[in-house]
């Protein structure tokens, strides 16, 4: 669902610096809105209220929000992936009336999963009831935002999506600051922050409903469609789950390592590792914005051209020429974006001591910040390469690669913890490096074998015949 990407590409092609900057700014919001604005919001609230609220209160608040993002992302990832595929199928079949039921069905499944997961987490850490309620509210709200944002891929109103995030986060920051200055403690700051997130969720939902008007189906219709989607696209769901877990697994390992610390509310975190890695993760946003505006849309154009050539009974020579254009342009664009990203990474690596000093971080975090920035470059290659595979319905390979990244990130991070502080961040970097290399080779191999995969490997008729022959 690259609809919003095409609108941003049109904007970027205008002969104006402001249009180009605006296009990539909107793309950054669409690609990483919750993550980007939350990091900025947490930093703003901390800087303004640190002297009044106190370090312990703010640490409690930040821990709740971080856990809310972790829990919601991991548990809703299968929902958003399956829902995205079902919406794409509906739009391809020219049945937009299916979108609304899928939206609310996704909401209901996400609410059920996140409610159960968050409740178990609160019980495990023996959190105070009020703070546990705050964690549940934050987790549910962020989960609904993840789901709504997935549907916004089919929405062409990029300004509406950006406004939803900007407006919501502005309210979140102001309400959070007001609660902190009013002495309402961590629970009050969480409540203020969630109010802003709720506004973002409402605005995104209204934007999707405005794009897909129509009568509302019975509530169970969408729920049953998502559950059936889990069965049909189980490899997608499991792959998404592994992908989301892989993003957080290195943080979880550090939280429960000797460098982990426990806040008053019972939650554990590792500020030495977390703060540096969260800053480093911002490095990948320009590449993700380029992906939305340029790579995904250009790829989609040539992807359609390739299959149109087949559907219009083109010759083998014409099909092969279309395949080469698709492969060459996609991989060239990926290399170009990566080179740009390397340049941004180099700036951050060189300026790491100044960044650490400006943000009042610890000296030991310089190396973590550098390894995190380097890892983010290769993680983008991994994300882009595995995303391309989904267009060719290589769901099993997608799952295998995500499971590989999860295992490598867990294994290398655990080893880095064992080796000591000097190696903090090396595990994540090594996992991203190895995984991106393998994912790129998998994408390249897919492009080379595309004719075979189209006519034989992914052909439902061929697979059905093979299954029948196996049974007999």
- Residue recorded with tokens 């937009």: 96
How many residues belong to the chain?
472
CB atoms near residue 346 (< 10 Å): 13
In 3D space, the residue among 72, 75, 395, 394 whose CA is nearest the CA of residue 236 turns out to be 395
What is the spatial distance between Cα 407 and Cα 409, in angstroms, rounded to a whole number? 6
User: Taking the chain, what is the end-to-end CA distance rounded to the nearest angstrom?
Assistant: 40
String of b and e for 447-458 (b: at least 16 CB within 10 Å)?
Answer: beebbebbeebe
pLDDT in tens, 168-189: 889 999 999 999 988 888 999 9
Q: How many CB atoms lie within 10 A of CB 257?
A: 17
Lowest-confidence pick of 14-18, 139-143, 241-245, 407-411:
14-18
What's the predicted TM-score (pTM) here? 0.88
26 vs 471, higher pLDDT: 26
Which one has a higher pLDDT value, 307 or 368? 368
From the list 418, 329, 431, 449, the residue with the least C-alpha distance to 381 is 431
pLDDT in tens, 360-382: 888 888 999 999 999 999 998 99
The whole-number pLDDT of residue 34 equals: 72
Residue 423 has pLDDT above 90, yes or no: yes
DSSP category for residue 315? -
pLDDT band at residue 106 using 50, 70 and 90 as cut-offs: very high
pLDDT digits (tens, 9 = 90+) for 16-70: 566 556 655 666 666 666 777 777 788 888 888 888 888 888 889 999 999 999 9
Dihedrals phi, psi of 269, to nearest 5 degrees = -155, 175
Task: Identify which has the larger pLDDT, 334 or 400.
Answer: 400
Annotated domain spans of the chain: 1-232, 270-472
pLDDT at 7: 52
Separation of alpha carbons 42 and 205, rounded Å: 24
pLDDT band at 135 (very low <50, low <70, confident <90, very high): very high
Nearest to 103 by CA among 40, 168, 155, 39: 155
Q: What pLDDT, on a 0 to 100 scale, did the predictor assign at position 361?
A: 81
Exposure class string for 187-209: b at 16+ Cβ within 10 A, else e: bbbbbbbbbbbbbbbebbbebbb
For residues 236 and 81, is the Cβ–Cβ distance under 8 A? yes
Q: CB under 8 Å to 85, separation ≥6 — which residues? A: 229, 233, 236
Lowest mean pLDDT among 91-95, 101-105, 236-240: 91-95
Give the span between the Cα atoms of 127 and 130, in whole angstroms. Answer: 8
**How confident is the model at residue 44, as a pLDDT?**
84
């Amino acid at each position: 669902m690259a609809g919003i990407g095409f609108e941003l590409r049109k904007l970027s092609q205008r002969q104006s610096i402001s249009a180009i900057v605006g296009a990539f700014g909107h793309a950054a919001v669409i690609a990483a809105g919750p993550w980007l604005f939350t990091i900025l919001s947490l930093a703003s609230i901390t800087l303004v209220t640190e002297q009044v609220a106190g370090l312990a209160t703010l640490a409690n608040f930040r821990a709740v929000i971080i856990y809310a993002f972790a829990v919601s992302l991991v548990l809703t990832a299968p929902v958003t992936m399956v829902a995205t595929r079902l919406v794409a199928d509906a739009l391809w079949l020219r049945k937009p009336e299916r979108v609304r039921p899928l939206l609310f069905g996704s909401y209901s499944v996400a609410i059920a999963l996140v409610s159960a997961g968050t409740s178990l987490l609160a019980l495990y850490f023996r959190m105070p009831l009020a703070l546990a309620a705050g964690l549940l509210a934050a987790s549910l709200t962020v989960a609904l935002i993840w789901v709504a944002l997935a549907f916004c891929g089919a929405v062409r109103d990029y300004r509406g999506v950006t406004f939803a995030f900007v407006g919501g986060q502005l309210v979140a920051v102001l309400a959070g600051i007001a609660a902190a200055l009013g002495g309402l403690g961590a629970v009050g700051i969480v409540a203020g922050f969630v109010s802003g997130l709720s506004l973002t969720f409402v605005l995104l939902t209204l934007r999707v409903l405005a794009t897909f008007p129509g009568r509302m189906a019975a509530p169970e219709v969408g729920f049953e469609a998502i559950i059936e989607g889990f069965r049909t696209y189980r490899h997608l769901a499991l792959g998404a789950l592994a992908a989301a877990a892989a993003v957080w697994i290195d943080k979880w390992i550090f939280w429960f390592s000797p460098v982990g610390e426990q806040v008053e509310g019972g939650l554990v975190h590792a500020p030495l590792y977390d703060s540096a890695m969260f800053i480093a993760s911002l490095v990948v946003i320009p590449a993700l914005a380029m992906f939305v505006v340029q790579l995904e849309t250009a790829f989609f154009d040539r992807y359609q051209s390739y299959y149109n050539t087949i559907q219009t009974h083109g010759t083998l020579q014409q099909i092969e020429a279309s395949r080469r254009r698709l492969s060459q342009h996609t991989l060239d664009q990926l290399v170009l974006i990566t080179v740009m990203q390397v340049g941004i990474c180099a700036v951050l690596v060189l300026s790491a001591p100044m960044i650490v000093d400006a943000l009042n971080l610890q000296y030991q975090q310089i190396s973590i910040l550098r390894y995190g920035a380097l890892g983010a470059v290769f993680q983008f290659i991994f994300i882009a390469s595995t995303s391309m595979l989904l267009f060719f319905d290589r769901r099993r390979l997608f799952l295998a690669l995500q499971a590989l990244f999860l295992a490598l990130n867990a294994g290398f991070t655990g080893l880095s913890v064992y080796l000591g502080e000097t190696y903090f961040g090396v595990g994540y970097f090594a996992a991203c490096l190895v995984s991106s290399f393998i994912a790129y080779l998998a994408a390249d191999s897919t492009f080379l074998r595309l004719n075979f995969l189209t006519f034989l490997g992914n052909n439902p008729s061929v697979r059905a015949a093979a299954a029948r022959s196996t049974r007999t």
